[in-house]
Amino acid sequence: MENSHLHFNTSIGVQKPENIRNKDQACPFCERDQLTNLIAVDEPIILLKNKYPVLEHTFQTVLIETDDCHGELSIYSKEHLHKLMRFGIKHWLDMEATGCYQSVIFFKNHGPLSGGTLSHPHMQIIGLDDIDYKEKVTHEMFEGIVIAEEEGVRFTLSTKPRVGFYEFNVEMDDSGYQERFSDYLQTAVHYILNNFPFKATSYNLFFHHIENKIYAKVVSRFVTTPLYIGYGIPQVPSNLEWMAGELQRIYFKE
Ligand SMILES: [Zn+2]
SS3 category, 95: helix
CA distance between the termini of the chain: 53
Report the SS3 class of residue 67.
coil
Cα 71 to middle of ligand 1, angstroms: 9
Question: How far is ligand 1, taken at its centre, from the CA of residue 183, in Å?
Answer: 24
Instruction: Say whether pLDDT at 234 is over 80.
Output: yes
Q: For residue 102, what are the contacts with CB-CB under 8 A and spacing of at least 6?
A: 2, 128, 129, 130, 131, 132
Q: What is the pLDDT of residues 97-139, one digit of tens each?
A: 999 999 999 999 999 999 888 899 999 999 999 999 999 898 8
Coil vs helix vs strand at 19: coil
- Per residue in 196-226, pLDDT tens? 998 899 999 999 999 999 999 999 999 899 9
For residue 30, the CA-to-ligand 1 centroid distance in Å is 4
Per-residue pLDDT, 26: 84
| % of the chain surpassing 70 pLDDT | 97
Domains defined for the chain, CATH in brackets: 16-132 (3.30.428.10), 137-252 (3.30.428.10)
Q: pLDDT at residue 19 above 80?
A: no
Ligand 1 centroid to residue 6 C-alpha, Å: 28
Summarize pLDDT for 39-81 with one digit per residue, the tens.
999 999 999 999 999 899 999 999 999 999 999 999 999 999 9
